[in-house]
């Protein structure tokens, strides 16, 4: 079974420091991982756990079948893997899990983890299919959009454009995304598709602004026009300050210990907040999580899996805070058994997306029934009174508003029975 090793770095006090050694064995699809913290790292007063649940600080050697969850969070999936697969196929190679994790450039990676072959500092792995030099690492949005189209259309990229593939994307999800620098600031970009009938970028912009009105923390968002096509930009909340300090990020899947991104409930996330959260912010984070669950019901965002919720490390307390919300996209109504259901469990009736079901477990969020009802009524009123104008301001034409209304209208009707 082939063995690969990499040092794991974590960004602390303005610099990357070696935290431990990761060893991965892969035979076909079977992967076994081992991780151990370094002695000097454990002696640091500011040492932070890579993952306080699966990899708590200590001298133990940790083992896992597959990839440790914290490393899954910074490894590409969906779209990012597809790009690297395309980069390697010219050499007849299928990237390994180790390749996916370590081949990307460090500056674009999500969160504060990085990897390197030795103790001289982080640097990407260089398997045989990865060029030694990648010219033009910074790519403008127009070029990215052109390359996205080429990849989606299964077209070959010229040699000078293949950097787009190697550059990859550690941003999760199956849709075309990338970490970008726009007007001198770091953003996550989502790219629209050619001849797109559903203006997803503008629908998400309106939903994020509406979520903010409902007491949910969201990063700055905007839609920019690139050659007549929409690109949705979300300011990176895992970067901070003029020096772009990295912030350690973990998904809710990691902090809840779930084995699947769809195998969980909002109650599980609330429990992770109680277990790992910053004491001074517990009540606020629990209430905000409740608001996010309710908002997803109100706008029919059923793509609310465990990787679409996250946490940021608080260096002062050594604990974790709920990150700003992201990937909130109202969806058309589904048919049959999946109609009016979220991906995550809501309350005593499981994934059923009703406000009554949200109320049934309000105590999980440190809320009594009167307070929970007050929050729901207030949010429903805000959504009902503002969804249309927010979508108009986001640039959605009137003819599309009638289609989007179904995502909001059917959900808002659920307020009547609480």
Please state the domain extents for the chain.
3-116, 141-235, 247-417
Whats the size of the chain, residue-wise? 418
- In whole angstroms, what separates CA 146 from the centre of its chain? 24
Long-range contact pairs involving 159-164 (C-beta distance under 8 Å, separation at least 24): 160/135, 160/136, 162/87, 162/131, 163/134, 163/135, 163/136, 163/137, 163/139, 164/83, 164/139
Asked if 107 and 138 touch (Cβ cutoff 8 Å), the reply is no
User: Which residue has better confidence, 339 or 161?
Assistant: 339
CA atoms in the 13 A half-sphere facing the CB of 390: 24
Q: Kindly report the backbone phi and psi dihedral angles of residue 117, in degrees, each rounded to the nearest multiple of 5, phi listed first.
A: -75, -15
246 Cβ contact list (under 8 Å, min separation 6): 11, 111, 112, 238, 239, 240
CATH topology of domain 141-235: Phosphorylase Kinase; domain 1 (3.30.200)
Residue 136 pLDDT grade (very low, low, confident, very high; cuts 50, 70, 90):
very low
User: Per-residue pLDDT for 169 more than 60?
Assistant: no
Give the predicted TM-score (pTM) of the model: 0.93
**What whole-number distance in Å separates Cα of residue 141 and Cα of residue 119?**
35
Please write the tens of the pLDDT for every residue from 68-117. 999 999 998 887 888 888 888 888 899 999 999 999 888 888 999 999 99
pLDDT digits (tens, 9 = 90+) for 34-43: 999 999 999 9
What residues contact residue 196 under an 8 Å CB cut-off, 6+ apart? 230
- Across the range 23-51, mean pLDDT stands at 96
* C-alpha span between 144 and 165 (Å, rounded): 10
Task: Give the model's pLDDT for residue 416.
Answer: 60
pLDDT at res. 245: 92
Spatial CB neighbours of 346, under 8 Å, sequence gap ≥ 6:
265, 266, 293, 297, 352, 353, 354, 357, 358, 361
- pLDDT category at 160 given cuts 50, 70, 90 is low
227, 257 contact by CB (below 8 A): no
Instruction: Classify strands 221-226 and 229-235 as parallel, antiparallel or unpaired.
Output: antiparallel
| Percent above pLDDT 70 for the chain | 89
- Which CATH number applies to 247-417: 1.20.58, 1.10.4100, 2.40.50, 1.10.1070? 1.10.1070
Interacting residues of 63 by C-beta distance below 8 A, sequence separation 6+: 32, 33, 34
Domains 141-235 and 247-417 share a fold: no
Backbone angles phi, psi at 43, to 5 degrees: -80, -15
Helix (H) or strand (E) holding 24: strand 15-27
Residue 162: pLDDT band with limits 50, 70, 90: low
Rg of the chain on CA atoms, in Å: 22
Q: What percent of the chain has pLDDT over 90?
A: 67
The pLDDT of 140-151, averaged and rounded, is 78
């Amino acid at each position: 079974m082939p063995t690969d090793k990499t040092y794991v770095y974590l960004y602390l006090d303005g610099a990357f420091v070696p935290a431990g050694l990761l060893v991965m064995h892969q035979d076909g699809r079977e992967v076994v991982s081992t991780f151990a913290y370094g002695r000097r790292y454990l002696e640091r007063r500011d040492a932070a756990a890579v993952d306080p649940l699966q990899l708590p600080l200590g001298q133990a050697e940790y083992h896992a079948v597959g990839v440790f969850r914290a490393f899954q969070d910074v490894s590409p999936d969906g779209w990012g893997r597809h790009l690297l697969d395309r980069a390697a196929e010219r050499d007849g190679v299928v990237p390994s899990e180790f390749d996916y994790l370590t081949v990307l450039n460090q500056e674009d990676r999500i969160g504060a983890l990085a990897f390197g072959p030795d103790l001289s500092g982080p640097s990407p792995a260089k398997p045989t299919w990865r060029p030694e030099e990648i010219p033009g690492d910074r790519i403008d949005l127009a070029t990215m959009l052109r390359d996205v189209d080429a990849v989606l259309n299964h077209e070959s990229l010229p040699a000078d454009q293949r950097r787009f593939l190697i550059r990859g994307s550690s941003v999760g999800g199956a849709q075309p995304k990338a970490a970008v620098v726009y007007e001198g600031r770091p953003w996550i970009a989502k790219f629209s598709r050619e001849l797109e009938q559903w203006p997803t970028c503008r629908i998400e912009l309106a939903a994020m602004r509406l979520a903010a009105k409902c007491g949910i923390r969201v990063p700055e968002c905007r839609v920019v026009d690139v050659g007549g096509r929409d690109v949705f930009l979300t300011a990176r909340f895992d970067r901070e300050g003029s020096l772009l300090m990295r912030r350690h990020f973990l998904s809710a899947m990691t902090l809840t210990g779930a084995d699947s991104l769809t195998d969980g409930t909002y109650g599980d996330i609330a429990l992770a907040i109680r277990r790992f959260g910053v004491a001074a912010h517990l009540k606020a984070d629990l209430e905000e999580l409740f608001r996010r669950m309710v908002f997803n019901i109100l706008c029919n965002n059923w793509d609310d899996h465990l990787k679409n919720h996250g946490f940021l490390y608080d260096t002062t307390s050594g604990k974790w805070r709920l990150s700003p919300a992201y990937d909130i996209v109202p969806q058309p109504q589904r048919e049959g058994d999946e109609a009016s259901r979220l991906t995550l469990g809501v309350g005593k009736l499981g994934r059923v997306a009703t406000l009554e079901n949200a109320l049934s477990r309000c105590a999980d969020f440190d809320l009594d029934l009167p307070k929970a009802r007050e929050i729901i009524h207030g949010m429903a009123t805000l959504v009902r009174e503002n969804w249309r104008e927010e979508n108009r301001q986001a640039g959605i034409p009137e003819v599309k508003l009638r289609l989007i209304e179904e995502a909001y209208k059917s959900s808002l009707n659920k307020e009547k029975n609480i």
